Amino acid sequence: MGERVLEEALRTLEVLVCVGPGGVGKTTVSASLALQSAIAGREAMVCTIDPARRLANALGLEEFGNVEMTIPQEVWSGADLSPGAPLHAMMLDMKRSWDDLISRTASEELRERIFANRFYQALSTVLAGSQEYIAMEKLWELRNDRGYPLIVLDTPPTAHALDFLDAPDRLLGFMGNDAARFFLNPAAKAGRFGMKLASLGTGFVLKQLSRVAGGQTLEELGAFLSALSSLNEGFNERARGVKALLRHEKTGFVLVTTPAPERLNEVIHFHDLLVQSDMRPVAIVVNRVHQAPDAELSLQAAALDGTLREHVEATIAEARLLADRDQLGIRRLQQEVKTPLIIVPRLPHDVHDLRGLAATAEHLLTPARG
């Protein structure tokens, strides 16, 4: 039998980052791991960026947001579960997290200028990379200021999992590059803002800001960059700390995927990037795997009559094809990556409560393959 890699990770690591494409079950895996840690007697915090708020329902909370909440005892009792340690949860509110960051790092006068600027409002709500950056900021804050024994981070849903590592650097680079220095020099402040956005070195990010802020003037963008200039070093210092945290020996990554070919391509690529970046993949969770029908079902179907028999046998054949396809994907992963695989079958019901999370956790703690 293989090693119980996730059981060991829950016992020894301090940060687990769940990564992978959107729609593969990262939120459920994140919550299940944190739940299992609490059941086993190690206090845990799960931080999610899930817009559907499924985690709140699964944890028995009507509403939760940017403030940590402890799962109450009555929720545990209602699920017939007995935790050995507290379980905490929060949902990252992107706008409030940016506001909190500015409030912690800027003077009162400066923060009011930043909050009033429409480019900041775009940055803190919809700009590409902002969510990934603030998720790393929140992880840094939880790790350094709260002292939780274990933090499980559910990363943002992205079109490409690779964006999770790239976007924070792209955002920080924008705030500290030559374009910013252009806006901050005396000639620029005097009003010489006629340069087109496309001619600037960071046209991609600048054009996004201009579009989402409603085509505001370059002067207002200059004021935004000027207000942020005194905070750049603090941002970069924290970014360096986050990078060190992600490479720390007590930090591990759990990659979550399904056996679908398009998902496998992405998770293999992301796995290779983590290894090249000196980050530690602990396990790859292959979620929602179809199970082959039991042979007994075919015998039972053969005893049926007429059209009913045909329909049942067709259903069994389709289920067997799906299971065979999923096994091909699993074998491909075993051939292309050395990280252990955890297989989680497709469950008959959606996970919507603590019992469902606990059932998922049982599968996550099975011996790994590969």
pLDDT (tens digit per residue) in 245-264: 889 999 999 999 999 888 88
Q: What is the pLDDT of residue 248?
A: 93
Q: How far apart are CA 341 and CA 337, in angstroms?
A: 9
Asked whether residue 113 carries a pLDDT value surpassing 90, the answer given is no
Does 274 or 216 have the greater pLDDT score?
Answer: 274
Q: What is the pLDDT of residue 103?
A: 87
Q: What is the pLDDT of residue 253?
A: 95
List, for residues 308-346, the tens digit of each pLDDT value.
888 888 899 999 999 999 999 999 999 999 999 999 999
Mean pLDDT of the chain: 80
For the chain, list the domains and their CATH numbers: 5-292+325-364 (3.40.50.300), 295-324 (no CATH)
Q: What is the pLDDT of residue 170?
A: 60
Q: What is the pLDDT of residue 6?
A: 96
Q: Which helix (H) or strand (E) holds 135?
A: helix 130-141
Q: How far apart are CA 210 and CA 122, in angstroms?
A: 9
Asked whether residue 348 carries a pLDDT value surpassing 50, the answer given is yes
Place of tokens 């070919």: 261
Asked whether residue 181 carries a pLDDT value surpassing 60, the answer given is no
Asked whether residue 34 carries a pLDDT value surpassing 90, the answer given is yes
Q: How far apart are CA 65 and CA 58, in angstroms?
A: 15
Contacts of 101 (CB under 8 A, 6+ apart): 134, 137
Q: How far apart are CA 157 and CA 23, in angstroms?
A: 8
Contacts of 368 (CB under 8 A, 6+ apart): 2, 3, 4, 5, 6, 283, 340, 341, 342
Does 203 or 334 have the greater pLDDT score?
Answer: 334
First to last CA, the chain: 10
What percent of the chain shows pLDDT beyond 70? 76
